[in-house]
C-alpha cells in the first residue's frame, strides 16, 4: 500500500506551504495528493516539490460530485493515508445581512461540510500512526461581529477536531486543529471583497511558513490545538477567561 499525504486547498497559502514542507520532512510518505480548484496553480506547486510523486486533483470540494470522485479514487487506489491536511476554506468580511446568500452558505459548505466529508471518507484508509490536521482559525475562539459565519465555521472545526482526536486515540491517529491569526496569504483578497477587515489585524499578520512549521511539530507531538505567535496565544487566553460579551464589544 502506497503511503500518501492528502492536502486540500493546496494551490496557495497555508495549503501550499503544507505541501512543500511535508515533501521535505516526511521521508516515509511516497506520494502527495494536492487538491484545489485551480489546476494551473497546482502545477506550480508540483514544480516546487522534489523527491515525491505528486498527484494533482483539480476538485471543487463544495460540490458533491467532486467529493464522490475523491471517494471513488480512494476505492480504486486503496492507499495508506498517513497525513490528511484539510486546508481548503475561505471567509468573507461584512455584516451577515450585507453579504450574499451564496457566500454565507458557501463558507459553511467548504469550511465545515467538505472538511467533515473529506475526513469521514479518508478515515478508513488511515493506518496507525497517522495524523489529521484541520486548519481552523483564531476566529473560532469566540463569536466575531462582521465575520460571524466564518468565525462560526472555524469554531465548529476546532470543536470537531478536539473531540475527534479523543475518539481516534486508540487508533493512534492524532487530530490537530491549527488556529492561526491573520496570515500573509490570498485569504484577504477574498475576505475583503465587500469591506475591509479590522485595521488592527494587519499588525498581526504572519508568514505561513511559520504557522505550518509549528502545526507539523505540534501534530508530531500529539497536540490537539496548534497556535502560532504570542499575540494569538494571548488572545486565546483572553477568550477563555474574559466573558465573550466584553470581547465582542471590543471587536465590534
pLDDT in tens, the chain (252 residues): 899 999 999 999 999 999 999 999 999 999 999 999 999 999 999 999 988 999 999 999 999 999 999 999 999 999 999 999 999 999 999 999 999 999 999 999 999 999 999 999 999 999 899 999 999 999 999 999 999 999 999 999 999 999 999 999 999 999 999 999 999 876 665 655 655 555 555 667 899 999 999 999 999 999 999 999 999 999 999 999 999 988 888 776
Nearest Cα residue to 154 out of 132, 176, 177:
177
For residue 184, the model assigns a pLDDT of 86
C-alpha cell recorded at residue 131: 495524523
CATH of residue 171's domain is 3.40.50.720
Give the residue carrying C-alpha cell 481552523. 136
pTM for the full predicted model? 0.91
| Spatial distance between the Cα atoms of 81 and 98, rounded to a whole number of angstroms | 41
Residues in a beta bridge with 31: 4, 53
Backbone angles phi, psi at 175, to 5 degrees: -115, 125
CA 122 to centroid of chain Cα atoms = 15
Task: State how far the alpha carbon of 93 is from the alpha carbons of 149, 150, 235, in Å.
Answer: 9, 8, 20
Indicate the number of domains in the chain.
Answer: 1
Provide the pLDDT for residue 83: 98
- Does 150 participate in catalysis according to the annotation? yes
The full 3-state SS of 76-144, as one line of letters, equals HHCCEEEEEEECCCCCCCCCHHHCCHHHHHHHHHHHHHHHHHHHHHHHHHEEEEEEEEEECCHHHHCCC
By the 8 A CB rule, do 1 and 28 touch? no
Are 29 and 105 spatial neighbours (Cβ–Cβ below 8 Å)? Answer: no
Domain that holds residue 183: 3-251
CA distance 238 to 202: 20
C-alpha cell at 198: 479590522
Q: Which of 150, 202, 221, 228 is catalytic?
A: 150
Collapsing DSSP to helix, strand or coil, 61 comes out as: coil
Residues 6+ apart with CB under 8 A from 29: 3, 4, 5, 22, 23, 52, 82, 83
What one-character DSSP code corresponds to residue 242?
A: S
Rounded Cα–Cα distance for residues 51 and 28 (Å): 12
Amino acid at each position: 500500500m502506497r503511503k500518501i499525504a492528502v492536502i486540500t486547498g493546496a494551490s496557495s497559502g497555508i495549503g501550499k506551504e503544507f505541501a512543500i514542507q511535508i515533501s521535505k520532512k516526511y521521508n516515509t510518505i511516497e506520494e502527495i495528493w494536492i487538491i484545489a480548484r485551480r489546476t494551473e496553480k497546482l502545477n506550480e506547486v508540483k514544480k516546487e516539490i522534489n523527491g515525491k510523486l505528486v498527484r494533482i486533483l483539480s476538485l471543487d470540494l463544495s460540490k458533491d460530485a467532486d467529493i464522490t470522485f475523491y471517494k471513488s479514487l480512494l476505492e480504486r487506489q486503496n492507499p495508506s493515508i498517513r497525513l490528511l491536511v484539510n486546508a481548503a476554506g475561505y471567509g468573507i468580511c461584512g455584516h451577515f445581512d450585507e453579504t450574499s446568500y451564496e457566500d454565507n452558505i458557501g463558507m459553511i459548505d467548504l469550511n465545515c461540510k467538505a472538511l467533515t466529508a473529506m475526513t469521514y471518507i479518508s478515515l478508513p484508509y488511515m493506518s496507525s500512526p497517522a495524523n489529521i490536521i484541520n486548519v481552523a482559525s483564531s476566529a473560532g475562539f469566540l463569536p466575531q461581529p462582521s465575520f460571524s459565519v466564518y468565525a462560526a465555521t472555524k469554531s465548529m472545526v476546532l470543536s470537531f477536531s478536539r473531540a475527534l482526536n479523543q475518539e481516534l486515540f486508540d487508533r493512534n491517529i492524532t487530530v490537530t486543529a491549527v488556529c492561526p491569526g491573520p496570515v500573509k496569504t490570498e485569504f484577504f483578497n477574498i475576505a475583503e471583497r465587500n469591506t475591509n477587515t479590522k485595521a488592527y489585524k494587519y499588525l498581526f499578520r504572519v508568514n505561513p511558513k511559520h504557522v505550518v512549521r509549528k502545526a507539523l511539530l505540534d501534530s508530531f507531538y500529539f497536540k490537539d490545538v496548534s497556535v502560532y505567535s504570542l499575540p494569538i496565544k494571548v488572545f486565546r487566553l483572553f477568550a477563555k477567561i474574559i466573558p465573550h460579551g466584553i470581547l465582542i464589544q471590543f471587536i465590534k
